A = this chain, B = another copy of it.
Amino acid sequence: MTDPRPGGAEGVDSVLAALADPTRRLLLDLLAARGEASATALAEGVPVSRQAVVKHLAVLEAAGLVRGGRVGREVRYAVRPAALDATARWMAALAADWDRRLARIKLLAETAEAAERDAP
């Protein structure tokens, strides 16, 4: 979509899509609390099967919100704040941009109204 400032993260849409699912947000929360956990361990704290958790973790990893690494015979996942932070900044910039535009529109409307009053 529109990127007000080039240099901003391009993973924004994948991050938004990833965060749109409640189960994935739950998983991120669990991961943030534990620091590190395997898919099997996470599945015990979530109302879905292990396979579902695996799929969700794949989505999260593709979005850069999570990173998985092999430790022995299991795969440990950990949260990765960078992507989330970048998206937060992008959103803040977008909100500021909207504010700016709305202020401009409002100003134009007022001056037009004033002109209307002065020269009908």
Interface residues, chain A, CB within 8 Å of chain B?
A: 1-2, 13, 16-17, 19-20, 22, 25-26, 29, 32-33, 35-36, 78-79, 81, 84-85, 87-89, 91-92, 94-99, 101-102, 105
Assess the B25–A20 pair: CB atoms within 8 A: no
Assess the A29–B2 pair: CB atoms within 8 A: yes
Question: From residue A8, how far is it (CB to closest CB) to chain B in Å?
Answer: 13
Assess the A13–B22 pair: CB atoms within 8 A: yes
- Copy number of this protein in the oligomer? 2
Assess the B84–A35 pair: CB atoms within 8 A: no
How far does the alpha carbon of A32 sit from the alpha carbon of B93 in the complex, in Å?
13
Assess the A92–B102 pair: CB atoms within 8 A: no
In the complex, the chain B residue whose C-beta lies closest to that of A26 is B1
A81 contact set on B, CB distance < 8 A: 95-96, 98-99, 102
Given contacts A1-B22, A16-B20, A26-B1, contact A33 B101 (CB under 8 A): yes
How far does the alpha carbon of A79 sit from the alpha carbon of B102 in the complex, in Å?
8
A22 contact set on B, CB distance < 8 A: 1, 13
A2 contact set on B, CB distance < 8 A: 25, 29
In the complex, the chain B residue whose C-beta lies closest to that of A31 is B98
